[in-house]
């Protein structure tokens, strides 16, 4: 359909019909995260939007893919494109038209509760993954929604905190991945809850209309985050196009099968504030007079600080028609909103002659999508395997096939599927760590949990009493759907205890200890230490067996106080449904550990965000005054040795780098030789050190400009070409925009931001 055809549909609509297309409504089927009824009279079918970045979240199972840092750790954008396509196909199979992902925020705060939904601390790296996932989703006939635009880098008070960040920093660090996602064809972008320099992003004309739509030429629609719309007239005129969920919190919880708290107080301070607002808020508040029901502020829940205002759900439904009639919102702006939404849907085939909802999900009607296919299962294994990072190896790995292994850890009977919140997915099948090792090992396998199960945290538990239905019809009581785990499990006839784990470790050739953190949307981790007594468990096991391997399944960086006592460490992130299978493949060397760190690992106090002004902020403001020195940029500038740098990851093979050469203004070449007697996969990284800038700003010593991976058999070598992103050469100048300073730009090539093996100079 042409742009004119889309405009012609919009022209036929009444004012009420137009407004009906720019906010959500209740989904009678209760399957969608967000629902727009469409306008049957003119052939616009209903639109269903679903979470999320790690798998499709409806009320039915779907493939639970590895979390975003695991995907990013692969440094393999082809895998990202394939995962995006699989997400799109699964969304279609579930009759969904729009996928609410990928999570595209930069990892600024190591404690951020949603880091498991984000890719990386580097903008070029994040952007490459966001773009590839978007490309995949859209190629499957589904609208992608990179989120949460922008500077949503923490969950603590996410609904009101103001990121105080200056323009060059925003341009160089926080905006680029969104721009890449837009350039890859994203049909939609989700605005974040937070404020940027005092203005809510949902009302930020500069960010929404001038930068995103104007400069970048984004012709899709901006959707609000759920309950993240602060006003009607201001947000619409600033550039917000679709309000979600468009209904009250109680209606939403109802449609999700959750029972709202019947005892809403209806007379709290927030209702008074709503009454004072003339933009339809008092009506919304009335409809929602159990405003406190989404979470009771008095119940001490960890999430209260991270929740948006539940009264804000129905604002456009209540007040947009009168606002247009009064002339506060020009009708041309409403037409723009409608054509943007219809245009994005049309681009994925949703308007192709469909007049009512079809089981195909509307989009590409020749393609019914696919879910839980062997291909998707294999892809989940491949990403989890390739994304596993070997941080340390004293030679204990890979394990001998016939080694006697003690499998230790409080959660060895469950796959770590993800963190809590809107990205929770219930898989059809999963392999627990214990199963993975038992299936692969040829030696004896003993199991000792060592500690009581470490429970994940779920936002949904806090929100309603109903819980979510799970694949087997049970109730998911944790973020990871781990109701499958046998909580009463005992080790050798006794309650799990550290002593039992020590005994098992001492009797085995190798002890493999699985540990995990717990992270969730709407709250930040309070520490980078492992929860419960897992650090103690590792120390005790390492004391009993010199050949102790730690597998850390975490949302981001963790502290490793036991590092010097263990023989090997794997960072396995949240690996999703393939946890056991993928980890076993790496442990036994069936796959080379292909992962490299997308975030720096260091003790909490070593990050710039250890200053509370920066995180979580003071008086509602988070000062981003570390400027450009985020992640490895900070550690490199400070000359501080992190525990493990960005880009780090060992292979079972060994590589030699030779002949780094610039072969053009934006390309370097290097010869990489595998000097080991086994095959391996090397991730070659290029960092640019630009000439000193004439401004005062502290600039990072070097910035990632590109990467490429190569698989080499024993003794093989290859010339690897790396394309360099122009942004790594440049800086954003407050008065001149993107500027490349003249002079020599030194391009270092190597294994990480710290392990650089050679360099070439490019004159600009
Ligand atoms: C999250 C979004 C999500 C939405 C719908 C919000 O709480 O921030 O990422 O897509 O809910 O579930």
Reported as a single tens digit per residue, the pLDDT across 354-388 is: 434 444 444 444 478 999 999 999 999 999 999 99
Spatial separation of the C-alpha atoms in residues 292 and 109, rounded to whole Å? 29
Cα of 534 to ligand 1 centre, how many Å?
Answer: 31
147 is written with which tokens?
Answer: 């989120």
Measuring CA to CA, which residue among 631, 649, 648, 653 is closest to residue 640? Answer: 631
Query: Which ligand 1 atom is at minimum distance from the Cα of 245?
Result: 5
- Cα-flanking dihedrals φ and ψ of residue 707, to 5°? -155, 160
pLDDT digits 0-9 by tens, 724-735: 999 999 999 989
Q: Which of 96-110, 159-173, 262-276, 342-356 has the lowest mean pLDDT?
A: 262-276
* Protein residue with least CA distance to atom 3, ligand 1: 422
Q: Regarding beta strands 737-740 and 730-733, do their DSSP bridges make them parallel or antiparallel, or are they unpaired?
A: antiparallel
Query: Which ligand 1 atom is at minimum distance from the Cα of 459?
Result: 7
Residue 654 has pLDDT above 90, yes or no: yes
Q: Which of 275-284, 468-477, 672-681 has the lowest mean pLDDT?
A: 468-477
Spatial separation of the C-alpha atoms in residues 514 and 396, rounded to whole Å? 16
- Cα-flanking dihedrals φ and ψ of residue 467, to 5°? 70, 175
Cα of 29 to ligand 1 centre, how many Å?
Answer: 19
pLDDT of amino acid 702: 96
Spatial separation of the C-alpha atoms in residues 163 and 116, rounded to whole Å? 21
431 contact partners, CB below 8 Å, separation of at least 6: 415, 439, 577, 578, 579, 580, 581
Spatial separation of the C-alpha atoms in residues 33 and 15, rounded to whole Å? 26
Q: Is the pTM of this model over 0.85?
A: yes
Measuring CA to CA, which residue among 553, 562, 566, 563 is closest to residue 436? Answer: 553
Contact 385, 17 (CB under 8 A): no
Residue 84 has pLDDT above 80, yes or no: yes
- Cα-flanking dihedrals φ and ψ of residue 581, to 5°? -65, -45
Determine the average pLDDT of the residues in 43-68: 97
For 241, which DSSP code? Answer: -
pLDDT of amino acid 467: 38
Burial of 677 (0-12, 13-18, 19+ CB in 10 A): exposed
* Protein residue with least CA distance to atom 7, ligand 1: 226
Cα of 228 to ligand 1 centre, how many Å?
Answer: 9
Cα of 296 to ligand 1 centre, how many Å?
Answer: 19
The angle, 0 to 180 degrees and rounded to 10, between the axes of the packed helices 579-587 and 374-386 is: 50
Contact 316, 229 (CB under 8 A): yes
* Protein residue with least CA distance to atom 8, ligand 1: 225
Confidence band, pLDDT 50/70/90 cuts, at residue 260: low
Active site members: 225
Residue 486 has pLDDT above 90, yes or no: no
Measuring CA to CA, which residue among 104, 144, 131 is closest to residue 345? Answer: 144
* Protein residue with least CA distance to atom 9, ligand 1: 422
Query: Which ligand 1 atom is at minimum distance from the Cα of 100?
Result: 10
pLDDT digits 0-9 by tens, 178-195: 999 999 999 999 999 999
Spatial separation of the C-alpha atoms in residues 120 and 177, rounded to whole Å? 10
Determine the average pLDDT of the residues in 575-599: 98
Determine the average pLDDT of the residues in 487-507: 80
Residue 516, SS3?
Answer: strand
Query: Which ligand 1 atom is at minimum distance from the Cα of 148?
Result: 9
Determine the average pLDDT of the residues in 629-634: 98
Burial 310-344, CB ≥16 within 10 A → b, else e: bbbbbbbbbbbbebbeeebbeeeebebbbbbbbbb
Query: Which ligand 1 atom is at minimum distance from the Cα of 34?
Result: 5
Burial of 504 (0-12, 13-18, 19+ CB in 10 A): buried
* Protein residue with least CA distance to atom 6, ligand 1: 226
Spatial separation of the C-alpha atoms in residues 135 and 238, rounded to whole Å? 27
Query: Which ligand 1 atom is at minimum distance from the Cα of 422?
Result: 12
Cα of 524 to ligand 1 centre, how many Å?
Answer: 16
Cα of 339 to ligand 1 centre, how many Å?
Answer: 24
Residue 276 has pLDDT above 50, yes or no: no
Q: Regarding beta strands 188-190 and 221-223, do their DSSP bridges make them parallel or antiparallel, or are they unpaired?
A: parallel
| DSSP β-bridge partners for residue 550 | 513, 569
**What are the strands, taking DSSP E only, across 385-449?**
389-393, 405-408, 445-448
pLDDT of amino acid 309: 82
Residue 466 has pLDDT above 90, yes or no: no
Looking at every residue in the chain, the average pLDDT score rounds to 90
pLDDT digits 0-9 by tens, 204-251: 999 999 999 999 999 999 999 999 999 999 999 999 999 999 998 888
* Protein residue with least CA distance to atom 4, ligand 1: 226
Q: How many CB atoms sit inside 10 A of residue 265's CB? A: 16
Residue 494, SS3?
Answer: strand
Here the contacts of 493-500 (C-beta below 8 Å, separation 24 or greater) are 495/452, 496/410, 496/448, 496/449, 496/450, 496/451, 496/452, 497/450, 497/451, 498/450, 498/451, 498/533, 498/536, 498/537, 498/540, 500/448, 500/449, 500/450
Spatial separation of the C-alpha atoms in residues 365 and 357, rounded to whole Å? 11
Distances (CA, A) of 272 to 157, 249, 314: 21, 18, 17
Q: What percent of the chain has pLDDT over 90?
A: 81
Cα of 225 to ligand 1 centre, how many Å?
Answer: 6
Contact 84, 665 (CB under 8 A): no
Residue 151 has pLDDT above 80, yes or no: yes
749 is written with which tokens?
Answer: 């090539």
Pocket test for ligand 1, best of 48, 50, 52, 149 (most atoms within 8 A of CB): 52
Confidence band, pLDDT 50/70/90 cuts, at residue 475: very low
Query: Which ligand 1 atom is at minimum distance from the Cα of 522?
Result: 7
pLDDT of amino acid 491: 63
Residue 316 has pLDDT above 50, yes or no: yes
Pocket test for ligand 1, best of 51, 295, 313 (most atoms within 8 A of CB): 51
Residue 313 has pLDDT above 60, yes or no: yes
pLDDT of amino acid 311: 79
Spatial separation of the C-alpha atoms in residues 580 and 388, rounded to whole Å? 12
- Cα-flanking dihedrals φ and ψ of residue 6, to 5°? -65, -45
Spatial separation of the C-alpha atoms in residues 364 and 8, rounded to whole Å? 22
Diameter of the chain by CA atoms? 79
Determine the average pLDDT of the residues in 617-642: 98
Name every protein residue with a CB atom under 6 angstroms from any ligand 1 atom: 33, 51-52, 100, 147, 225-226, 422
Pocket test for ligand 1, best of 422, 460, 464, 520 (most atoms within 8 A of CB): 422
The backbone region for 573, taken as left when phi is positive above 0, alpha when psi lies in -120 to 50, beta otherwise, is: left
Contact 219, 340 (CB under 8 A): yes
Q: What percent of the chain has pLDDT over 70?
A: 88
Measuring CA to CA, which residue among 631, 664, 661, 665 is closest to residue 648? Answer: 631
* Protein residue with least CA distance to atom 11, ligand 1: 226
Cα of 310 to ligand 1 centre, how many Å?
Answer: 13
Residue 295 has pLDDT above 80, yes or no: no
pLDDT of amino acid 28: 85
Residue 294 has pLDDT above 90, yes or no: no
The backbone region for 37, taken as left when phi is positive above 0, alpha when psi lies in -120 to 50, beta otherwise, is: alpha
pLDDT digits 0-9 by tens, 120-150: 999 999 999 999 999 999 999 999 999 999 9
């Amino acid at each position: 359909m042409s742009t004119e055809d889309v405009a012609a549909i919009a022209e036929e609509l009444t004012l009420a019909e137009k407004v009906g297309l720019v906010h959500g409504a209740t989904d009678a089927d209760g399957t969608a995260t967000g629902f727009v009824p469409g306008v049957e009279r003119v052939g616009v079918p209903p639109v269903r939007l679903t979470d999320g970045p790690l798998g499709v979240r409806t009320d039915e199972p779907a493939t639970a893919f590895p979390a975003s840092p695991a995907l990013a750790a692969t440094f393999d954008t082809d895998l990202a494109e394939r995962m995006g396509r699989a997400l799109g196909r699964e969304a279609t199979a579930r009759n969904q038209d729009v996928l609410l992902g990928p999570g595209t925020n930069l990892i600024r705060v190591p404690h951020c509760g949603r880091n498991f939904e984000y890719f990386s601390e580097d903008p070029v790296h994040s952007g490459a993954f966001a773009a590839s996932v978007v490309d995949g989703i859209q190629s499957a006939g589904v609208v992608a929604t990179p989120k949460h635009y922008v500077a949503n880098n923490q969950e603590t008070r996410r609904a009101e905190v103001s990121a105080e960040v200056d323009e060059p920093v925003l341009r160089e660090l926080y905006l680029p991945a969104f721009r890449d996602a837009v350039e890859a064809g994203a049909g939609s972008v989700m605005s974040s809850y937070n404020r940027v320099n005092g203005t809510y992003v949902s009302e930020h004309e500069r960010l929404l209309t001038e930068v995103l739509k104007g400069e970048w030429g984004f012709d899709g629609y901006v959707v609000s985050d759920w309950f993240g719309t602060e006003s009607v007239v201001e947000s619409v005129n600033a550039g917000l196009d679709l309000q979600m969920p468009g209904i009250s919190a109680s209606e939403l919880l109802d449609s999700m099968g959750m029972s709202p708290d019947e005892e809403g107080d209806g007379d709290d301070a927030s209702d008074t504030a709503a009454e004072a607002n003339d933009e339809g808020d008092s009506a919304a508040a009335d409809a929602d007079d159990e405003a406190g029901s989404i979470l009771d502020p008095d119940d001490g829940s960890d999430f209260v600080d991270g929740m948006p205002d539940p009264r804000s759900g129905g604002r456009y439904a209540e007040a947009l028609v009168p606002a247009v009639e009064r002339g506060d919102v020009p009708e041309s702006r409403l037409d723009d909103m409608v054509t943007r939404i219809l245009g994005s849907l049309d681009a994925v085939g949703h308007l192709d002659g469909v007049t009512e909802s079809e089981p195909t999900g509307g989009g590409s009607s020749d393609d019914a999508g696919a879910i839980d296919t062997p291909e998707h299962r294999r892809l989940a294994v491949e990403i989890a395997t390739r994304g596993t990072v070997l941080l340390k190896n004293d030679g204990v790995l890979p394990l001998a096939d016939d080694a006697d292994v003690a499998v230790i850890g409080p959660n060895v009977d469950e796959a770590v599927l993800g963190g809590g919140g809107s990205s929770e997915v219930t898989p059809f099948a999963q392999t627990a760590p214990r199963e993975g090792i038992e299936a692969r090992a040829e030696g004896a396998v003993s199991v000792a949990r060592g500690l009581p199960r470490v429970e994940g945290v779920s936002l949904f538990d806090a929100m309603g009493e109903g819980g979510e239905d799970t694949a087997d019809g049970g109730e998911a009581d944790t973020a990871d759907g781990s109701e499958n785990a046998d909580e009463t499990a005992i080790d050798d006839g006794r309650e799990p205890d550290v002593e039992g784990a020590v005994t098992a470790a001492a009797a085995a050739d190798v002890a493999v200890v699985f540990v995990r953190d717990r992270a969730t949307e709407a709250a930040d981790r309070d520490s980078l230490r492992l929860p419960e007594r897992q650090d103690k468990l590792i120390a005790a096991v390492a004391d009993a067996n010199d050949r102790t391997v730690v597998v850390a399944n975490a949302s981001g960086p963790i502290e490793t106080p036991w590092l010097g006592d263990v023989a090997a460490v794997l960072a396995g992130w949240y690996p999703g449904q393939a946890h056991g299978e993928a980890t076993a493949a790496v442990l036994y060397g069936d796959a080379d550990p292909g992962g490299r760190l997308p975030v720096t690992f260091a003790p909490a106090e070593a990050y710039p965000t250890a200053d509370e002004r920066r995180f979580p902020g003071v008086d509602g403001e988070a000062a981003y005054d570390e400027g450009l020195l985020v992640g490895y940029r900070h550690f490199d500038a400070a000359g501080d040795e992190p525990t493990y740098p960005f880009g780090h990851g060992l292979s079972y093979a060994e590589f030699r780098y030779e002949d780094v050469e610039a072969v053009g203004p934006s390309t370097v070449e290097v010869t990489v030789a595998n000097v080991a007697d086994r095959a391996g996969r090397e991730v070659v990284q290029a960092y640019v050190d630009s000439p000193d800038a004439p401004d005062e700003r502290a600039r990072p010593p070097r910035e990632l400009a590109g990467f490429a991976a190569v698989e080499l058999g024993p003794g093989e070598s290859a010339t690897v070409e790396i394309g360099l992103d122009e942004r790594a050469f440049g800086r954003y100048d407050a008065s001149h925009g993107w500027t490349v300073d003249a002079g020599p730009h030194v391009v270092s090539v190597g294994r990480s931001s710290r392990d650089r093996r050679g360099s070439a100079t490019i004159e600009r």
